[in-house]
Structure 1
Amino acid sequence: MSLNMEEMCENLQSGERRTKLSALILLQDQCEKESYAQLHDIFDEIYLHLLKCYSDRFESVREKAVQTVTEFVNKLPPNDFHLMNIVSTLVERMGQQETLESSEEIRLLYIQKLLTLIQKYTVTGNKRSLQECYTEIISVLTKALRDAYPAVQRESCACVVALMNAADTIAIQPFIEKLTKPLYGMLNHKHSLARISAVEAIGRLALHVDPKNDTLSQLIMEVSPLLMDSMPLVRRECGQLGILLALELRDRYSFFDRIIPFILCCLKDDSPEVVDFIRPQWIKCGKQYFDENEAELSKQEIGDLPVKNYPPDVERPTIGCRAIVQRSLRLLSLITRESNDWKVNVRLHSLKLLYQFVLHAEAAMTAKFFEIYGDVARACRDPEAIVSTEAMKVADLMGRLFSYDDWIEHGFDGLVKNTKEGYLKCFYHMFAASLGTKIDDIIRVSEMLIGSEFSQTLKPEIQLYVLKLVETILSKSDEVGEQFENDKNEKLVLNSYVANIKVMALSFDSEQTNVVELQDLGQYILTKLAERQKITVAALHQNYFVSALNYVDNLDASLDDLTEPIILLNGLINIAKLRATYLPDLQEKIILVWENCDDSAKVKIFTSISVVMLQWTETINRQLCESIELLTNFVSSVIERHLLWHAGANAEAMRSMAMATLCAMSQGAVEEARIVLPAC
């Protein structure tokens, strides 16, 4: 059926909604039936009337007009004249300072129409025609990207992507900044799909940015916060942006240090979906870099031996991927600075990124250790468990992959100058994970641990890591046992014993949450030391207890039961008991308490004496005559003075404790008590 074009034009200009709709429906039907030549003639005659319907007062007419034009455009080949007319109409409806089109659905149709045009002219090779309309297209997109309707915004991002894929860089560069500003606004959109679309569009825009100005740096800075987005698909899109720039950005070598954080963060993402999506593409980036630098990297590949101490269940990055990261180490200062940020997610994000840097850079990053040591140490004592755990993973990895001989001195220096929980944790994880430990270093660690700043602290976490480090140096000494000289072995055992028993003593009677863990680990270490010396734990105490007792000082002051020397002495008595080899030395310390300390301290010590006295025969382990002599001396110097009446608020309590101790003696030293008690 041939159309009466004059009647059709009149109907399209009618004031009746039904008449115009009927005409538009008829035109759509003709698009399905007529040949290309006939459609071309029809459209040439009515296109102005169709475009005029875009501003019709009836929404249904405007919607049908857009759909009708779309049908014609899909059927007809590209035509520059029609392109300009259609785009100009879109500018009139959407690209003005005030948007004339009030319907969200029709605005969406406009943008879909624009996307169709861009794709059609790109596929058919008419990119130059699009270039002539850049000004109009950009004005429409700039407004649409700020639209209140999320679907319009997302479709606008799709238009930007399609346009950038087809654009000539020089021609599109003047318009880049106009598009970036509204896209930045979309990065904070409440809908995750809108954020994803914005990141994708920004990635395509970045390929055309002039590297001479700061636009690309600004672009990367704006997108970076989305690496911590709550939605995995948004984080994945950020990683995809990094992959795109690493593969296709012309000046990518200059921007690798800005680009690779997008990729590396996704490789350490909590979502397996993100990791699995990004990893193969990152390998592709590494292969491209290897191919571009084959002359240099192929030589490195020959000597690229497997790392002996590589973390289990972790895939080693390819040499190309490692090379990209190794040339970008100047970014480390920025990463570690963020590890001290006040926001938990920023600190966590920076540590995950640092982990990937260490994993890729391996020993090449050892030279940077002194720069990041303090920041990793601070992160190891972060109040948020999730952050401190990640920091300790970083420390473990550094110990595995860094060159031991090159970092160990810095490690010791930092620990000596900063005797803090964070440095101790960081050093422990690095030292425990490292290979090639030297005998002198093991001895040096043991000497450091017996210092009061480490093994005489009441901080639970430091106590725990002192014991862990003692356990570690004993294990490592077993690995090099054949090289140990007798005097060095003796020194190691002595230092390990002293550090261990001091921590056990200070935590013995405490209410801290990890007291059971500390006591169990301490007993394990004592057993291990005894086995090393091929003696019993009792003999171990007999041989080395005096050295630990010497660290109980300042007893000539007025100390109460909560002071560190009293807590230490009390714990030592309870753990090691009373033994013949050190009983005289212990008596001297107890007498100092009687002479100088507060009554609360005296009661605390007396209570412990009464408890350990129950095991006198077992722990003294001497012939009866010698045991009687030791007990007589102990009773006369330590207990007897408190049996006499003294004035004072706590004198009665001390007499009661003295009597309780004698009662305990009668049970723990039955034979000796028959001789000693009558003399009291």
Structure 2
Amino acid sequence: MSGDSAEQNGFETKDSVCKLLQRHVNCLSDESKITRKRGLIDLRKETIDRHLGGMLLQEISIEVLKPTLKCLADSSEKNRELAANLISKYISILPSPEDTLAYVIPTLAQRLGQQEITEPSEELRLLVLQEILFPCVELSGKKIAGYLDEMIQILQQLIVDPYAEVRKTSCKLAGCLARSIPEYFHMQSESLIKPLMLSITHQHSKVRIAVIEATADVIQFGNGKNVDDVISHLAQRFFDQSAQVRMTVTRMIGRWLLELPDRYSFFYKFIPLILTSFSDEMPDIRIEARRLWHEAGMLYQEENEGDLKDKLDFAQPAPSLYPKGVDRPCLGCRELVHRNLSKLTTAIIRDLSDWVQDTRVKTSQLLYELLLHAEDYITQHMQPLMQALLKACADDQSVVVQSALKCCNLIGAFVNPEIFCKFLIQAVRMHQISPQPIMIIAAVIEGCSDEVLGEKLLEILSLLVDPEVCQASEKSEYHLALISCVNGITNVCQDRVSDISLQLFTLVITVIALSNSEDVLKQCDESLLNISESLGISVQDLYVRHTREVLDSMRSSYKEWTMYSVEQRIFDSLISRAGPVVGEVLEQVMPMLEVNLNPQKDPELRLKFFTLLSKLLMDTRQTLDSKKEFSSDHAETIITKMIAPNLIWKAGRTSAAVRTIAVATLWALLRSGLVLRDVGCKLFEALLPQLKSALDDDVKSTRLTTAKVLARFLHICGDSAEVDKILHNIYMELLKRLDDASDEIRIAVTKTWKQYFKCFNAATYDQSLYRAHLEAMYGGLLVHMDDPDTNIQVSVRDVLKEGGVLSPKTLLLEITKVRNKHRTSAYCDQLIKHFEKFYLPSLLKFA
């Protein structure tokens, strides 16, 4: 109601109204709460409801408000509510509400500004805030400055009020107060920092938003030095789960960058915060952050136009390797980062080691934005930057690692290779078993170009192929980093791949040799394919191109290899994968195999080489004999120089394992068809002592394979096998094996017996001279034809059918000796029936 209403009530005067109100005022001090309530209601009816006019209400305000203010402490909540509403109405109607501050504000300070909550009702505290305190600040203008102490006292308590709505409204009131009297507010603003920071983590997002907005005003219109007290709390809000909170704090920092009086002193604190929002998950926040940052950069550019005149007049184009699809920040933004980067690197290094995952993620993303602004200014900060990137690349969160590698791409794009090579090589030498420096090299190369890298590429390659580097670790992470380097170099320097393919091939083969990871091996195959495609050849041709060179590099060391030698593993991987190329490098491979299969070498080493040799012999057409150059001499060398010495019996499990695989290798060689009859017979006779010993070995697999080897030798030699030196020299061992504990071996030996009898020439065999041998062989076999196992019985019967042709008469005589002793005469009868056709039917008769 305006003052003009007084004309309609001109007959009313202050005295007459006061007399009328006195009775109601007296009721306010009555002991009865009902009477006090009626007094408050009647006061409103006789003043506000009667529309007495603003001027008259102003005159009587002291007589009405003072007793009404006392009712704010009434024991009845309803009375306190009526009193608050009456006071609110008065303040909103009075022409000069500031005249009431002298008794309203102190009373409210007494009621709301105490350490203990004096007003128990949350709704009433909120009502007083919204309907009394807010109007007092908004309607009083600068006059509220006289009551700043009391207002601060009230806000200190209400900002941390248990009721969320009270906190939220108090924050808005604090901002309103700061904006109303900035020239006075700065003297007391510091008092609100603590309660605001206590409320900034409130569980309600709207309260947090209100706190941030209030903090923005309190700092901007208050004491700027308090930025240090709030900045860490604000930084945490950039991790807030609420997108609205993150948007609010982003806008607050943007506002400070543009409007804070002392903002130049705090740029190094604000820049990382605004840039953090560049990687927010919400597109709206990212867009807003970029807009505010651009405005801040343009303002800085305008304010420092004199200092930046040369850079503005002679603007440098974006670096040639600037990331594609990325907008380049304005000069002002870049200058802000240039001038503050040195102050940020220490904090970034620290935060990249923070125990909180989100902090590390945000920091790594922030580092990328800073480097994008810094451009070639990165050069001045390479030392601390390398520390930061090494930490980030070692993080267990892939997001952090990927951000760090993007940063490395920028180093390759912006920094001179002469500079970054120095730091990269130093980092690799200092952390030789860590994959991080290698990962950084790969990413830096990916960000660079072949032309820019120039001769430094050879320096990097020389570092990578150094055995102290490429053979330093057996961890998959390290191997993947090396493969990333190979891929990066292949992709970036395609025009030079033909000149450096040997180094790249060596790196990949080294990783294959050292890795047990399927994922790593798959990536190695992809890298070899990538290299070969760059050269316009197949992967097999790549082996043709470089296998000989890699083997040449081992000439000086292969004689000293042990089971721990990395080069031995490289040799194994190379030859295993080289396929037909092995046939082209026989003269290099054979001496290496021979030296490392010498019995003087470690048994474990010999096991590895025998395994490799076995693989090669399993498919000789695609390996050793791919060029049809594998001669009898090579076969003889393998048997006499590599296999035979390792068949000699020695105690121990490892030695037994060596004998087993040596016999298996011999079996593979004999099966390959590369051992011809003349060489085979000669070697068979020479190997016979070792084979007889192996046939009695403790290891089952050795005995079984030896039986197969004997059968194969007998097959190769055929009737060329000498009777006295070979055939009569082994049958006792074969008979003994028929007593083996393993039925599998016994069956295998019967097959050997079949091949054995095929080597005799019945036409030239002197039965009378060798009668004793025949009787021993037939008699021994007949014993086993009475075996409990039917399979053995049948197998021995078939052997005797094959061997009986040498002397049917002798066999039939031996059968007569044992026929009645066998558990069944069926098999004896079958043999008699089979062989009696060689004699007159009347010669032998059986009952």
Equivalent-residue separation in structure 1 for 2:559 and 2:75 (angstroms): 95
Correspondent of 2:464 among 427, 433, 449? 449
**Partner residue, 2:345:** 332
Contact 1:502 1:568 in 2 (8 A): yes
Instruction: Give the corresponding residue for 1:614.
Output: 618
Secondary structure (helix, strand or coil) at the match of 2:67 reads helix
Structure 1 counterpart of 2:572, which letter? Answer: N
- Following superposition, the deviation at residue 91 of structure 1 comes to 0.7
Task: Give the Å deviation of 1:579.
Answer: 1.6
Residue among 477, 488, 492 paired with 1:472 = 488
Paired position in structure 2 for 1:664: 668
Offset at residue 380 of structure 1 (A):
0.5
Compared CA separation, residues 513 and 655, structure 1 to 2 (3 A): closer
Q: Which residue of the partner structure matches residue 509 of structure 2?
A: 501
Residue 195 in structure 1 maps to residue 224 in structure 2: no
**What is residue 572 of structure 1 aligned with on the other side?**
574
2: CA distance between counterparts of 1:234 and 1:554?
70
Q: Out of 219, 223, 244, which is 2:230 matched to?
A: 219
Per-residue CA deviations over 1:287-338 (Å, capped at 9, x if unaligned) read 2112212344454244231343333443332222222222211222222222
Partner of 1:277: 288
Task: Specify the SS of the correspondent of 2:582.
Answer: coil
Q: Indicate conservation of the 8 Å contact 2:411/2:420, yes or no.
A: no
Which stretch of structure 1 is more off in the superposition, 158-167 or 4-13?
A: 4-13
Q: Select which of 301, 319, 335 maps to 1:290.
A: 301
Residues 275, 289 of structure 2: 8 Å contact kept: no
Question: How far off is 1:447 after superposition?
Answer: 1.3
Q: 2: CA distance between counterparts of 1:88 and 1:528?
A: 86
State whether residues 24 and 64 of structure 1, in contact with CA within 8 Å, keep that contact through their aligned partners in structure 2: yes
- Tell me which amino acid in the other structure corresponds to 2:508: N
Q: How does 1:485-634 map to 2 (within 5 A)?
A: 490=499, 492-507=500-515, 510=516, 512=517, 514-525=519-530, 527-528=532-533, 531=536, 536-547=541-552, 549=554, 555=560, 557=562, 559=563, 564=566, 567-577=569-579, 579-590=582-593, 591-592=595-596, 594-620=598-624, 624=628, 627-634=631-638
Secondary structure of the 2:452 match is: coil
Match of residue 427 from structure 1 = 441
Give unpaired runs (5+ residues) of structure 2.
Answer: 1-8, 684-847
Letter in 2 for 1:495: Q
Matched, 1:80 2:86: no
Secondary structure (helix, strand or coil) at the match of 2:321 reads coil
Counterpart of 1:571, as a letter, is S
Q: 1:103 aligns with which of 115, 121, 132?
A: 121
Please identify the structure whose Cα radius of gyration is greater: 2
In 2, the alpha carbon distance for the partners of 1:517 and 1:69 equals 81
Look up the equivalent residue of 2:576 and give its one-letter code.
N
CA distance in 2, matches of 1:580, 1:623: 5
1:248 and 1:572 map into 2 onto residues whose CA distance is 67
Q: Note the C-alpha offset of 1:429.
A: 0.6
Q: Secondary structure of 2:201's partner?
A: coil
Cα 1:623–1:332 change in 2 (3 A) is closer
Counterpart secondary structure, 2:614: helix
Provide TM-score, normalisation by structure 1: 0.87
Query: Which among 22, 35, 40 is matched to residue 6 of structure 1?
Result: 22
Identity %: 24
Q: 2-side partners of 1:655 and 1:664: how far apart?
A: 14
Deviations 1:440-461 (A, max 9, x none): 1121222111112332231211
CA shift at 1:41, angstroms? Answer: 5.0
SS of match in other structure, 1:536: helix
Distance in 2 between residues matched to 1:674 and 1:226, nearest whole Å: 86
CA distance in 1, matches of 2:39, 2:329: 64
Larger CA deviation: 247-256 vs 538-547 = 538-547
Q: Which moved more, 1:395-404 or 1:424-433?
A: 395-404
Counterpart amino acid of residue 100 in structure 2: H
Provide the C-alpha distance between the structure 2 equivalents of 1:95 and 1:385, rounded to a whole number of angstroms. 51
Moved more, 15-24 or 375-384: 15-24
Alignment partners' CA distance in 1, 2:346 and 2:194 = 29
8 Å CA contact retained: 2:201, 2:208: yes
Alpha-carbon offset, residue 621 of structure 1: 5.5
State the shift of 1:357 in Å.
0.9
SS at match of 2:619: helix
**Aligned pair 1:58/2:109, yes or no?**
no
Which range moved further: 235-244 or 175-184? 235-244
Distance in 1 between residues matched to 2:621 and 2:55, nearest whole Å:
117
Q: Secondary structure at the match of 1:458?
A: coil
Distance 1:659 1:161 in 2: 91
1:90 counterpart (108, 120, 123): 108
* Residues 1:656 and 1:406: Cα distance change in structure 2 (over 3 Å): closer
Give per-residue Cα distances to partners, 1:614-657, cap 9 Å, x unaligned: 23222345654554444443443323333455554344433332
Distance 1:252-1:552 versus aligned 2 partners, 3 A rule: farther
Residues in 1 aligned to 2:490 and 2:553: alpha-carbon distance in whole angstroms: 18
1:143 to 128, 147, 157: 157
Partner-residue secondary structure (3-state), 2:189 = helix
The match for 2:644 is 640
Q: Which amino acid aligns with 2:103?
A: N
Deviations 1:22-56 (A, max 9, x none): 55456667647724345445645411232122111
Q: Which residue identity lines up with residue 189 of structure 2 in the other structure?
A: I
CA, structure 1 residues 634+27, in 2 after alignment: closer, same or farther (shift >3 Å)?
farther
Cα distance in structure 2, aligned partners of 1:674 and 1:39: 133
How far apart, in 2, do the equivalents of 1:611 and 1:493 lie?
27
For residues 273 and 130 of structure 2, what CA distance do their matches in structure 1 show? 31
- Tell me how far 1:130 sits from its aligned partner: 1.1
Match of 2:167 in 1: 153
CA offsets per residue over residues 169-224 of structure 1, 9 Å max, x none?
A: 3x22221221112222223333333333222222222224545xx53323323433
Higher relative contact order (CA 8 A, sep 6+): 1
Which one of 212, 215, 218 corresponds to residue 205 of structure 1?
Answer: 218
Tell me which moved more, 187-196 or 322-331.
Answer: 187-196
Task: Specify the SS of the correspondent of 2:218.
Answer: helix
Distance 2:538 2:612 in 1: 29
C-alpha contact 1:446 1:473 (8 A) present in aligned 2: no
Deviation at 1:500, TM superposition (A): 1.6
- Which amino acid is 1:52 matched to? K
RMSD: 3.1
**Maintained 8 Å contact 2:490/2:531:** no
